[in-house]
Amino acid sequence: MSARSNKPHEIVERALELSTADGCVVIADEQSTANLRWAGNALTTNGVTRGRTLTVVATVDGKEGTASGVVSRSAVTVDELEPLVRAAEAAARGAGPAEDAQPLVTGVSPSPDFTDAPAETTSAVFADFAPALGEAFARARAGGRELYGFANHELVSSYVGTSTGVRLRHDQPNGTLELNAKSPDRTRSAWAGRSTRDFKDVDPAALDAELAVRLGWAQRRIPLPAGRYETLLPPTAVADLLIYQMWSASGRDAVEGRTVFSKPGGGTRVGDRLTELPLTLRSDPNEPGLEAAPFVLAHSSGGDQSVFDNGLPLAATDWVREGELRHLTTTRHSAGLTGLPVAPAIDNLILTGGEDRSLDEMVANTGRGLLLTCLWYIREVDPATLLLTGLTRDGVYLVENGEVTGEVNNFRFNESPVDLLGRATEAGRTEKTLPREWSDWFTRAAMPALRVPDFNMSSVSQGV
């Protein structure tokens, strides 16, 4: 097998040629990753991976409608294409009409780099970061701290071709850094995380210094009971809550009365004011530093995405504009079904409209309250209110008269992000953040800290 015959765009073209169905969509994802892992102030493992996934969507027109079949396989070469295409066609013929059937997308200008080789990451992405991390280990050791963590960089080049002439390509870099500092007896723990495209904007020394301050705060322990507390949610926590809200913002589910965005008696809450603060929650494929695919990349249908929409251009979308709910997510099919505008999900999320205050400044303006580090293990309790439960982790701090006075025990919370937007009394400066809980699935977020006067800490948690 020559290297030439495994070029992703040629695989896409060949699969489309092999198609005998009425319509065909082929997505080739070329993935490379590099990672570093460390524990106790020393690197423990590093790794690189390479992968290819080919997804074929066959559509078959029939008397009762158009059916679709989707088959994805990894490590596919040119010789293995025909069985894959036939499997997708067989799946379509056996499926019956697809509810979300739409004409495949047409009229989209091809990506100029569609025939170029895929982008690839290597361990070289850590060329500056790894030595700086080594220096942070030395400082941590000298300061009586143990650093643990994981850094991962991924590059996925996705090539999309359709029988209707779409030829698009998107390169998605995706870097995450998670850093824990612990006291040698492991009773104190602090966390910091970063989302990055290339690890050039990540400074281990600064993160270690931040964690050293937090471990210092934890030297004084202040047990507190469950209850409602004024709470400062840092950007990572706000991101985790609002990403879940985004995932729960299906227009169709709302119209069908199944979500927090359903209007009692019918319809949706689009147009409702969610908060008196002038907050705007939006996604934009061209957001600087958070760039995401500017067209629909749907490997399967379901929820609020449709394989028929592959290649559909994505535009900046305000989900909430200055406090008012403006858009719910739709496909072309669910937009037609609900009368809502077409607004597919976009792979980033930005909340703006707060005041130009850092989290430190918000702490300085707090009489008595809790400062969280992050949230963990967030799960849904009730879709009708979008009540979520989860835990605090790696540091809950008590703020008194503008200063952190010690570390509090962890809590389990029960809160709805929609309610939190409504009750928040202050939002700070928007900054890029790593959503800790969802970082396996969603990393591109910019959020402010939020001040909530009565955050529901439902019970005490003994975890670290």
Partner 1 sequence: MNNRLTCTNADQRGMPPDPAENFQFTGQRFFRIDNGRITGQLRDVAYQATTTDFWGSMAAVGGPQTYVLGGAFNCGKAQPGQVAAVSHGCPSALFKGVNILNTTQEAGR
Question: How many whole angstroms from its chain centre is CA 55?
Answer: 22
Q: Which of 263, 299, 412, 429 binds partner 1 (CB under 8 A)?
A: 412
Q: Which stretch binds partner 1 (CB under 8 A): 1-9, 65-73, 299-307, 453-461?
A: 453-461
**Binding status of residue 391 toward partner 1 by CB under 8 A:** yes
Phi, psi of 156 (to 5 degrees): -120, 120
Nearer CB in complex with partner 1: 115/458: 458
Site for partner 1 in 44-63 (CB under 8 A): 49
Q: Which of 6, 183, 389, 405 binds partner 1 (CB under 8 A)?
A: 389
Radius of gyration (C-alpha) of the chain in whole angstroms:
24
Q: Give the span between the Cα atoms of 87 and 97, in whole angstroms.
A: 17
Nearer CB in complex with partner 1: 332/393: 393
Q: Which stretch binds partner 1 (CB under 8 A): 199-207, 215-223, 356-364, 410-418?
A: 410-418
Q: Which stretch binds partner 1 (CB under 8 A): 131-139, 194-202, 235-243, 452-460?
A: 452-460
Site for partner 1 in 253-312 (CB under 8 A): none
Q: Which of 121, 283, 301, 416 binds partner 1 (CB under 8 A)?
A: 416
**Binding status of residue 244 toward partner 1 by CB under 8 A:** no
Contact string (CB under 8 A) for partner 1, positions 204-243, x = contact = ----------------------------------------
Kindly report the three-state secondary structure assignment for every residue of the chain. Answer: CCCHHHCHHHHHHHHHHHCCCCEEEEEEEEEEEEEEEEECCEEEEEEEEEEEEEEEEEEEEECCEEEEEEEEEECCCHHHHHHHHHHHHHHHHCCCCCCCCCCCCCCCCCCCCCCCCCCCCCHHHHCCHHHHHHHHHHHHHHCCCEEEEEEEEEEEEEEEEECCCCEEEEEEEEEEEEEEEECCCCCCEEEEEEEECCCCCCCHHHHHHHHHHHHHHCCCECCCCCEEEEEEECHHHHHHHHHHHHHCCEHHHHHCCCCCCECCCCCECCCCECCCCCCEEEECCCCCCCCCCCECCCCCCECCECHHHCCCECCCEEEEECCEECCCECCHHHHHHHCCCCCCCCCCEEEECCCCCCHHHHHHCCCEEEEEEEEEEEEEEECCCCEEEEEEEEEEEEEECCEEEEEECEEEEEECHHHHHHHCCEECCCEEECCCCCCCCCCCEEECCEEEEEEEEEEEECCC
Q: Give the span between the Cα atoms of 353 and 355, in whole angstroms.
A: 7
Shortest Cβ 382–partner 1 spacing (Å): 5
Nearer CB in complex with partner 1: 48/315: 48
Nearer CB in complex with partner 1: 69/417: 417
Q: Which of 222, 385, 403, 425 binds partner 1 (CB under 8 A)?
A: 385
Residues 458 and 412: beta-carbon distance below 8 Å: yes
Site for partner 1 in 93-112 (CB under 8 A): none
Q: Which of 20, 220, 377, 403 binds partner 1 (CB under 8 A)?
A: 377
Shortest Cβ 129–partner 1 spacing (Å): 16
What's the longest Cα–Cα distance across the chain? Answer: 75
Nearer CB in complex with partner 1: 78/387: 387
Q: How many residues does the chain have?
A: 464
Contact string (CB under 8 A) for partner 1, positions 153-192, x = contact = -------------------------x--------------
**Binding status of residue 20 toward partner 1 by CB under 8 A:** no
Q: Which of 419, 429, 431, 438 binds partner 1 (CB under 8 A)?
A: 419
Contact string (CB under 8 A) for partner 1, positions 128-157, x = contact = ----------------------x-x-----
Site for partner 1 in 344-373 (CB under 8 A): none
Q: How many residues bind partner 1 (CB under 8 A)?
A: 32
**Binding status of residue 461 toward partner 1 by CB under 8 A:** yes
Q: How many CB atoms lie within 10 A of CB 398?
A: 21
Q: Which of 80, 82, 276, 382 binds partner 1 (CB under 8 A)?
A: 382
**Binding status of residue 464 toward partner 1 by CB under 8 A:** yes
Nearer CB in complex with partner 1: 178/318: 178
Binding site for partner 1 (CB under 8 A): 33, 35, 37, 49, 150, 152, 178, 376-377, 379-382, 385, 387, 389, 391, 410, 412, 414, 416, 419, 440, 454, 456, 458-464
